[in-house]
Every structure is written in C-alpha cells, then in structure tokens.
C-alpha cells in the first residue's frame, strides 16, 4: 500500500513538472483567482422556508441542452424529486447549453445549432415548476456564445426563463439562509482544464489555494462531468456535481467517463456539529 501511494505521489509530482501538467495547474489557479474576485463581492443571499432549520438543495451541472447526448431525464428527475421532498432550490454549476465551436467536430454532436435554436429548445423542453428556483452560473460552453456572437448567455437564459436566476460566469458565491437564521456559504465553480488521474486531485488543488478567511462551507464543481463527495477537506465539503449529459464521442476519444445524475444535499446544524448528507441520484439511459 505504501509503495502504491509513493508511486502515485511521484506520478502527481511528475505531472506537475511537465508542461501540460503545469498548464492545467495554471488553469486551476486562474479559476481560483476568478473565484477570489467574485468572493470579494457580496454573496447572493437565498432564503429558504424550511421548518426544521435545515438547508436543502439539489446540485446539478453540465446539462448541455442542444447536444445529441443531453439526458433530459436528469433535469426532469431533479425537478420531480425537488417537488416531492419540498426542496426549493436547484444549484446548477454551468454548461446549461452545449454552445458553439468548443472543439473540432462538435457540430456533428448537436441536434440544435446556434444560440437561437439551442435557447428555444431549452425554453421549450426544460420543465417549469412554480415551487422550485434554479440558480446557475454559465460555463465555458455557455460563454462560447459570448465569444462567438457577443451574446451574454446567462442574462439571456434568465430572460427566457424567470425561474432561472443567473449568478455569474464561471464562479459565484451564495449564502443559503433559513428562517431561524442558519447561514451556509456555498461556492460554485466551473473551472478550466480536463479531468485528472485521481478524481479528488483537482478539487483539492482548488481548496488548497484558499486562505482560511476566504473558504466557503461547501464547494460545488462542474465541468469535469464527475460525481464525488468529500465530506471535509480543510474544513470544506466538496461536491463534484455530476453530469446531465451522457458520454459524447469526444469524451470517449479522450477516455473520459460521464457520471450521469445529480445530488440531493441537506445540511442540519447542531450544537456540536452539523449533519451533512449528500445522495447521488444516478440516471441510467
């Protein structure tokens, strides 16, 4: 076991020293810097009406509406569960739409091309609920429309769907607050770069960049299409939010798996400790 850990540690250090590895680390540091700038702003406060002083929400990411490999069952199931269990808020960690010209050959993996068709598909097909609010950040696929056509996709999506509340591009910090005054800080990040050899490596590198006074209670991560729950790392709970898109041919060529599904999260404060439960709802198509 010790030998295996030493080999893994040596491999990670070699990756860090390589040009490609350093480039990915730089991308992570850029994402952390973006979060730091966002964190300097006042947090968005979201009030919940739970009776037991618990914070409850659903975490979802990378729905990629407009893709041939979108899985609408993920979002539909999230809405149904939220309504059934009285969950008022869904936190979406980016890549709502599949975007435009992200990688070579993407056009062959779309059923809706361009902003007009993807946004209309989204507005028509994504279920609406009077009981559930969606708070989202825009990921790199969303902001491709800004880069290519000058459209601010987050604001445009909010205009199309008043139940969807735009928090910002790439990063956001929110404070969930109950009627009884319990506050819980959650950071949302849609970083750059690809998945790492070890599932927890990139989330830990993000948290490692934070000083004690800037850390949230929980970090939600999108982009990697992975599902993972780390209860506590440097006193931060970490969730990789999973994916609303099945594995694409591009991901298959890169040997990247897609963990399709979403999380149901509940945080209950106590006198000596907080109880955190996170359940992953795996969707199989």
Lowest mean pLDDT among 74-78, 90-94, 104-108: 104-108
pLDDT tens string 103-113:
899 999 999 99
pLDDT at 60 over 70: yes
User: Is the model's pTM score more than 0.95?
Assistant: no
pLDDT of res. 33? 57
Q: Could you tell me the two tokens for 171?
A: 């990063």
Share of the chain above pLDDT 70, in %: 84
Q: What is the pLDDT of residues 197-231, one digit of tens each?
A: 788 999 999 999 888 778 999 999 999 999 999 99
pLDDT beyond 60 at 1: no
**Per-chain mean pLDDT for the chain:** 88
pLDDT of residue 194: 76
| pLDDT at res. 47 | 95
Q: In what order do the strands lie in the sheet with 44-47?
A: 44-47, 171-177, 183-189, 218-221, 236-241, 227-233
Please report the sign of the dihedral spanned by the C-alpha atoms of residue 256, residue 248, residue 258, residue 242: positive
The per-residue pLDDT for 43 is 86
Are residues 31 and 192 in contact, defined by beta-carbon separation less than 8 angstroms?
yes
Domains and CATH numbers, the chain: 2-282 (3.60.21.10)
Tokens of 163: 């139940």
Q: What is the CA radius of gyration of the chain?
A: 18
**Confidence at residue 255, expressed as pLDDT on a 0 to 100 scale:** 87
């Amino acid at each position: 076991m010790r030998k295996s850990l030493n080999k893994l540690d040596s491999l990670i250090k070699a990756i860090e020293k390589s040009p490609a590895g350093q480039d990915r680390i730089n991308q992570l540091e850029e994402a952390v810097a973006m979060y730091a700038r966002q964190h300097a702003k006042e947090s968005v406060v979201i009030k919940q009406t739970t009776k037991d002083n618990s914070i409850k929400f659903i975490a979802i990411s990378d729905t990629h509406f407009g893709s041939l490999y979108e899985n609408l069952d993920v979002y539909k199931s999230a809405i149904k569960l939220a309504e059934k269990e009285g969950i008022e808020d869904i936190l979406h960690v980016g890549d709502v739409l599949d975007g435009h010209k992200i990688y070579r050959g993407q056009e062959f993996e779309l059923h809706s091309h361009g902003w007009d068709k993807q946004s209309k598909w989204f507005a028509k097909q994504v279920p609406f609920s009077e009981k559930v609010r969606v708070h989202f950040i825009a990921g790199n696929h969303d902001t491709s429309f800004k880069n290519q056509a000058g459209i601010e996709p987050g604001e445009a999506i909010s205009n199309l769907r008043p139940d969807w509340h735009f928090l910002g591009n790439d990063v956001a910090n929110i404070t969930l607050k109950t009627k009884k005054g319990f506050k819980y800080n959650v950071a949302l990040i849609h970083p750059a770069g690809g998945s790492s050899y070890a599932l927890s490596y990139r989330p830990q590198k993000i948290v490692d960049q934070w000083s004690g006074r800037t850390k949230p209670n929980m970090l939600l991560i999108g982009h990697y299409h992975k599902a993972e729950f780390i209860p506590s790392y440097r006193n931060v709970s970490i969730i990789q939010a999973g994916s609303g898109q099945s594995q694409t041919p591009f991901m298959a060529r890169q040997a990247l798996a897609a963990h399709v599904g979403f999380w149901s999260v509940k945080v209950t404060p106590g006198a000596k400790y907080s109880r955190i439960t996170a359940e992953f709802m795996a969707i199989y198509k």
